[in-house]
Amino acid sequence: MRAVLSSILALAAVLITWASAPAENYPSKPITLVVPAAPGGVTDVIARAVGQRLGASLGQAVVVENKPGAANQLAAEWVAHSPPDGHTLLVSPEATFVINPYLFAKLPYDPIKDFVPVSGLIGIHQALIANPSLPLHDVAELIALAKREPGALNYGTYGLGSTGHLNMEMFANAAGVKLTAIHYKGATPALSDVIAGTIQLMFISIGSAVQPWQGGRVHLLAVGSKERSARLPEIPTVAESGLPGFEASSWFGLFAPAGTPPPIVERLNALTQGILAERQLREKLLDPQFFEPMTGSPTDFAAFIKRDTEKWRRAIHTAAVKIE
Amino acid sequence: MASLDSALRALIRKRDFYAGGLMLIIGCGVALKGLSYRSGTLMHMGPGFLPTALGAILALLGVAIAIAGTSAESAESDERILPEHPQWWGWLCILAGPVLFIVCGRYFGMIPGTFACVFIAALGDRTATLKSSFVLAVVVTIFGVALFSYFLQIPMPILTWKVGS
Amino acid sequence: MISTALTDLWYGFGVALEPHNLMWCFIGVLVGNMVGVLPGMGPLATISILLPLTFAIKPVGAILMLAGVMYGAQYGGAICSILLNLPCHPPHAVTCLDGFPLTKQGRGGVALGITVLASFVGASWGITEMIFLSPLLVRAALEFGPAEVCSLMLLGLLAGSTLARGSPLKGVAMTVLGLILGSVGTDLEFGSERYTFGLAELDDGIALVALALGLFGIAEFMNSINQVAPINTRYTNVSLRDMRPTRADLKRSIFPMLRGTLVGSLCSLIPGTGPTIASFVAYATEKKISKTPERFGTGMLEGVACPEASTHSSVQGDFIPTMSLGIPGDAVMALLLGALMIQGIVPGPQLISQHPDIFWGLVASFWIGNILLVLLNVPLIGIWVKMLAIPYRYLYPSALFFVCIGVYAANNDMFQVGEVVVIGAFGYLLLRLGFHPAPVLLGFVLGPRFEENFRRAMLISRGDLGVFVERPISAAFIAVCLLLIGTQIYFRLRGAKTPVAMVENAPVQLAE
Give this complex's ipTM. 0.89
Which C residues 162-191 touch B at CB under 8 Å? 167, 169-170, 172-173, 176-177, 179-180, 183, 187, 189-190
pLDDT in tens, C195-230: 888 787 888 889 999 999 999 888 888 888 877 554
Contacts of B14 (CB under 8 A, 6+ apart): B69, B70, B72, B76, B77
**Looking at beta carbons, which residues of chain C come within 8 Å of A41?**
334, 338
Determine, yes or no, domain membership for A306. Answer: yes
Domains in chain B: boundaries: 2-78, 88-151
Question: From first to last of its 324 residues, what are the pLDDT tens digits of chain A?
Answer: 676 776 666 666 555 554 444 556 788 888 999 999 888 788 999 999 999 899 888 888 898 988 887 788 889 998 999 999 889 999 999 999 999 888 888 888 999 999 999 999 999 999 999 999 888 888 888 999 999 988 889 999 988 888 899 999 999 988 889 999 999 888 888 898 999 888 999 999 998 888 888 888 899 999 998 888 888 888 888 888 888 888 888 999 999 999 999 999 999 999 999 999 988 888 888 888 889 999 999 999 999 999 999 988 888 888 777 665
Nearest to C401 among B16, B91, B144 (CB): B144
Determine, yes or no, domain membership for A233. Answer: yes
- Asked whether residue A41 falls in the same domain as residue A70, the answer is yes
Q: What angle do CA A279, A283, A287 make, to 5 degrees?
A: 120
- Asked whether residue A235 falls in the same domain as residue A136, the answer is yes
Coil, strand or helix: which one is B109? coil
Is C400's CB within 8 Å of B44's CB? no
Nearest to C342 among A48, A182, A189 (CB): A48
Nearest to C344 among A161, A217, A288 (CB): A288
Among residues A241, A269, A302, the one where a domain terminates is A241
Determine, yes or no, domain membership for A5. Answer: no
Shortest distance, CA C155 to any CA of chain B (angstroms): 17
- Asked whether residue A194 falls in the same domain as residue A257, the answer is no
Do residues A238 and A167 lie in contact, with contact meaning Cβ atoms separated by under 8 Å? no
Q: A with C: how many residue pairs have Cβ under 8 Å apart?
A: 151
Shortest distance, CA A64 to any CA of chain B (angstroms): 9
Determine, yes or no, domain membership for A266. Answer: yes
**Looking at beta carbons, which residues of chain A come within 8 Å of B155?**
32, 63, 65
pLDDT in tens, B71-113: 755 444 556 777 777 788 888 999 999 999 999 988 898 999 9
Domains in chain C: boundaries: 2-505
Handedness of CA C464, C466, C469, C471 (dihedral sign): negative
Q: A with B: how many residue pairs have Cβ under 8 Å apart?
A: 8
Coil, strand or helix: which one is C38? coil
Do residues A45 and A104 lie in contact, with contact meaning Cβ atoms separated by under 8 Å? no
Residue B127 to residue C269: CA distance in whole angstroms = 51
- Asked whether residue A130 falls in the same domain as residue A215, the answer is yes
- Asked whether residue A32 falls in the same domain as residue A133, the answer is no
**Looking at beta carbons, which residues of chain B come within 8 Å of C225?**
87, 90-91, 94, 124-125
- Asked whether residue A160 falls in the same domain as residue A93, the answer is no
**C195 interface with B at CB cutoff 8 Å:** yes
How many domains, chain A? 2
Residue A116 to residue A254: CA distance in whole angstroms = 9
- Asked whether residue A148 falls in the same domain as residue A215, the answer is yes
**Residues listed for chain A:** 324
Residue C192 to residue C190: CA distance in whole angstroms = 5
Residue in chain C nearest B143 by alpha carbon? C398
Residue B104 to residue A284: CA distance in whole angstroms = 43
Among residues A215, A241, A267, the one where a domain terminates is A241
Among residues A190, A217, A241, the one where a domain terminates is A241
A touches which chains (3+ CB pairs under 8 A)? B, C
Question: What residue numbers bound the domain in which A308 lies?
Answer: 28-124+250-319
pTM attached to this predicted model: 0.85
- Asked whether residue A94 falls in the same domain as residue A181, the answer is no
**C400 interface with B at CB cutoff 8 Å:** yes
Determine, yes or no, domain membership for A285. Answer: yes
CB atoms within 10 A of CB A106: 5
Residue in chain B nearest A82 by alpha carbon? B165
**Looking at beta carbons, which residues of chain A come within 8 Å of C201?**
69-70, 74
CATH of the domain at A142: 3.40.190.10
Do residues C47 and C332 lie in contact, with contact meaning Cβ atoms separated by under 8 Å? yes
Burial state string for A69-101 with b = 16 or more CB within 10 A and e = fewer than 16: bbbbbbbbbbbbebebbbbbbbbbbbbbbbbbb
CATH of the domain at A43: 3.40.190.150
Handedness of CA A149, A153, A159, A162 (dihedral sign): negative
Residue C438 to residue A302: CA distance in whole angstroms = 51
| Most distant CA pair in chain B, distance | 72
- Asked whether residue A119 falls in the same domain as residue A254, the answer is yes
Does residue C439 have a cis peptide bond before it, meaning omega lies within 30 degrees of 0? no
Coil, strand or helix: which one is C390? coil
- Asked whether residue A194 falls in the same domain as residue A287, the answer is no
Is C167's CB within 8 Å of B65's CB? yes
- In C72-201, DSSP assigns E strands to 185-186, 193-194
CB atoms within 10 A of CB A214: 13
* A279 to A282, A284, A293, C52, C339: CA distances (angstroms): 5, 8, 12, 20, 19
Nearest to B155 among A65, A81, A83 (CB): A65
Residue A315 to residue A205: CA distance in whole angstroms = 18
Is B47's CB within 8 Å of C179's CB? no
- Asked whether residue A70 falls in the same domain as residue A161, the answer is no
